[in-house]
Every structure is written in C-alpha cells, then in structure tokens.
C-alpha cells in the first residue's frame, strides 16, 4: 500500500511509487565504523564522513554505542574495521521488521 506512516516515514509501496514518478531521492544508509586507534589500542566510533563520535577502552562499548546510533538513524549499518579487515556487524533497515 502506498501510504505515509504517522512517524513521517513511508511504506515501501509509497517509496516505489514516488521513485517511479521521480518525486523522491533514493535513501542512502548511514554508516558507523568501529575501529582501533593509536598505540593505546582505544576503540573509536566514526560516522560515514570519518568524523569521530567517541572513543572507548573496550571494543564492546564501542560496538554498543555504534549500534545505538545506527538504530536511531535508520537506515544504517555498523561496520568493524579490525586489523584492516572490514566486516559488517549489524544492518538496520529503514523500517524495523
């Protein structure tokens, strides 16, 4: 059904209809990166523009913060950059299933 939801988002049918009509841009997901930093082995959370959000001593705390940001900024995904290897941790779609 091509309808808007009360929170201001739209159903998939509405987005497809708007794309066909040329009325809406494709929504790019936000990306949050978790990676080690410096000789102190601190973990940092970065956004898609490589801007520092916060640093942590523990990898788990950094991942928790990145997931929290991703959930609040759907569509989004969290990527870990550990030892030069990029790995997607979580992916949060536009609408929660």
pLDDT, tens only, 30-80: 999 999 988 888 999 999 999 999 999 999 999 999 999 999 988 899 999
For the full predicted model, state whether its pTM sits above 0.85: no
pLDDT band (50, 70, 90) for residue 19: confident
Identify the pLDDT of residue 40: 84
CA 91/CA 69 separation, integer angstroms = 12
pLDDT higher at 66 or 19: 66
Identify the pLDDT of residue 22: 79
* DSSP3 helix / strand / coil % (the chain, rounded to 5): 25, 35, 40
């Amino acid at each position: 059904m091509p309808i808007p939801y009360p929170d201001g988002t739209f159903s998939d049918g509405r987005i497809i209809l708007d794309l066909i009509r040329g009325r809406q841009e494709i929504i790019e997901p936000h990306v949050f990166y978790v990676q080690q930093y410096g000789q102190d082995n601190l973990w940092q959370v970065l956004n898609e523009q490589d801007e520092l959000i916060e640093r942590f001593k523990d990898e788990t705390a950094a991942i928790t913060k990145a997931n929290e940001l991703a959930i609040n900024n759907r569509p989004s995904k969290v990527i870990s950059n550990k030892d030069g290897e990029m790995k997607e941790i979580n992916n949060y779609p536009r609408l929660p299933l």
